[in-house]
Structure 1
Amino acid sequence: MKVEKATFAGGCFWCMVKPFDEQPGIEKVISGYIGGTKENPTYEEVCSGTTGHTEAVQITFNPEVFPYERLLDVYWQQIDPTDANGQFFDRGVSYKPAIYYHDENQRQTALKSKKQLQESGRFQKPIVVEIIPATTFYPAEDYHQHYYKKNALHYNAYNEGSGRASFIRKHWSDIYEK
């Protein structure tokens, strides 16, 4: 079986795992940090904004079952693609949205997907998500992995309280109500 990796930043990584984890062809989803200067940063260091890392998820997937294009569709439906300075009430570089590509095909596919979303008219403001080369990905501490399963009540309260869930319902109800 052929597997590939995809890496997406979309604010708090807790909220980015579940939508991918539930798809066929997804082998694993890991919460972690990417894009910074410090090796093996801790959660506290990343949150301090001093390392330059962004919270992200790295997805190992079977492209024959769940192609990269579909991963991008799921990604866009989890974030506010018009906000480059964080996501919902999480602000700063560690929460900025970005697509980290692993090869030229992913880069081209992500650029095409971003252009299609911009042209769709779904959002009034420009789509500002960066598409940048993947760098070293550092897995987050164990207590962050699959947080939605380990701490369902806190996860659900956070997902609603941050404004993410209502934003998704508002902008993607045509997809999720089918």
Structure 2
Amino acid sequence: MAIQYATFAGGCFWCMVKPFDQYDGVHSVTSGYTGGHTVNPTYNEVCTNTTGHREAVEIEFDDRVIRYEELLNIFWQVIDPTDAGGQFHDRGESYKSAIYTHSDEQRLAAERSKQALQDSGKFSAPIVTDIFQADVFYPAEDYHQQYYKKNPGHYARYTVGSGRAGFIEKNWGNYS
């Protein structure tokens, strides 16, 4: 194999790009929408929680450089996998966490990874992140792409103000 895709929903997609963007083997991280019933949804439509879509990132990666399992480990460390109502201060269906798998191998790896996190005892509450088969991915509007680079001040304030940074620091000790 070589080029593959991984798709993760972890709440606000602005906060889901930077954690993956910094790794060798990751070619691109695109913010967008997936899992819903509306064709070419807009940000405003998805925010109504009526389209069935979740904010997500689609990661193009070279599995000869970074394995899917490594991406799963990164994913678990940037979300609250026990929150069934959204992520941090972003609430509703469009902000719920999910892993969208692109193959049977990815599905099995995701299921093993989720079970390992549950079995680890790291969290006292159940791991509720959904695992779905990947569906059509719609890139978000340009102003959402690479938001952490385009608006670093706002991005930094948002990650702290939303509670994400504190949660990661408390549970993993490595927020950056």
**Which TM-score tier does this pair reach, normalised by the shorter chain?**
over 0.9
- Residue 84 of structure 1 deviates from its aligned partner by 1.5
- Residue 99 of structure 1 deviates from its aligned partner by 0.2
Q: Give the secondary structure class of the aligned counterpart of 1:114.
A: helix
Query: CA offsets, 1:104-159, max 9 Å, x none?
Result: 00000000000110111110101010111010000000000000000000000000
Q: Find the aligned partners of 1:172 and 1:123 in 2 and give their Cα distance.
A: 11
Structure 2 partner of 1:40: 40
Superposition map of 1:167-178 within 5 A: 167-173=167-173, 176=174
Q: Give the secondary structure class of the aligned counterpart of 2:83.
A: coil
- Residue 2 of structure 1 deviates from its aligned partner by 1.7
5+ residue gaps, structure 1: none
Q: Find the aligned partners of 1:49 and 1:9 in 2 and give their Cα distance.
A: 14
Question: Across the two proteins, how many residue pairs are aligned to each other?
Answer: 175
Structure 1 runs, 4 residues or longer, greater than 2 Å off: none
> Identical aligned pairs, as a percentage?
61
Q: Find the aligned partners of 2:99 and 2:27 in 1 and give their Cα distance.
A: 19
1:152 partnered with 2:152: yes
CA root-mean-square deviation: 1.0
Structure 1 partner of 2:19: 19
1:165 partnered with 2:165: yes
Q: TM-score, normalised by structure 1?
A: 0.97
Q: Give the secondary structure class of the aligned counterpart of 1:122.
A: coil
Q: Amino acid of the residue matched to residue 65 of structure 1? A: V
1:86 partnered with 2:86: yes
Q: TM-score, normalised by structure 2?
A: 0.98
- Residue 85 of structure 1 deviates from its aligned partner by 1.1
Q: Give the secondary structure class of the aligned counterpart of 2:112.
A: helix
Q: Find the aligned partners of 1:23 and 1:73 in 2 and give their Cα distance.
A: 13
